[in-house]
């Protein structure tokens, strides 16, 4: 596989992954700011008591259904095409989650950062789409699925750059 191809894809993955961790921090900060200083009674009135029992007002990342954040949220098969489609799906799922939050929440101090995060998910989806296009451009266009470019050796006739692998 040509080295130009590898660099283009890895830069995209690294910068998006770092930014995703920042998104988690922003959402955790919003939750902290919304729950800071609330009494036990207020937490109970808002349906937050099960969370409070386990974590008080500490930040414990979890889905709305109560499932804790864990490594199962990250999917990787080691095949660039498969992984890029998974990345694109994850960005769309995050965007949909932000859309749902915006339908429920009217506080501008919450909505503004959520809108920002939503926009970043759209940009990430576009970047992963570009990475998918670059990947497919460097493969045998008659059959993208003939081999796993991250695992199987490519021969020079399949590399559009004309360089030896």
* Known binding positions for Mn(2+): 20, 23, 91, 124
Residues contacting residue 66 through CB under 8 Å, at least 6 positions apart: 50, 51
Q: How many C-beta atoms surround the C-beta of residue 106 within 10 A?
A: 8
Cα separation, 149 vs 151, in Å, equals 5
Going by the annotation, the residues of the binding site are 20, 23, 91, 124
Largest CA distance in the chain: 69
Q: Could you give the CA distance from residue 46 to residue 96 in angstroms, rounded to a whole number?
A: 24
Is the sign of the CA dihedral 98, 82, 154, 159 positive or negative? negative
């Amino acid at each position: 596989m040509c080295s130009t191809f590898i660099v283009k894809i890895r830069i995209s993955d690294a910068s998006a992954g770092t930014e995703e961790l920042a998104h988690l921090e922003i959402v955790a900060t919003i939750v902290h700011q919304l729950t800071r200083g609330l009494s036990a009674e207020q937490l109970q009135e808002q349906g937050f008591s099960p969370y409070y029992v386990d974590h008080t007002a500490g930040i414990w990342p979890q889905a709305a259904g109560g499932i804790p954040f864990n490594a199962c949220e990250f999917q990787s098969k080691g095949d660039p095409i498969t992984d890029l489609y998974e990345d694109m799906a994850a960005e769309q799922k995050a965007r949909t989650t932000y859309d749902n939050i915006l339908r429920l929440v009217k506080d501008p101090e919450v909505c503004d950062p959520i809108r920002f995060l939503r926009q970043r998910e759209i940009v990430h989806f576009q970047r992963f789409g570009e990475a998918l296009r670059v990947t497919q451009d460097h493969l045998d266009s008659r059959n993208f699925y003939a081999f796993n470019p991250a695992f199987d050796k490519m021969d020079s006739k399949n590399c559009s750059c004309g360089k030896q692998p």
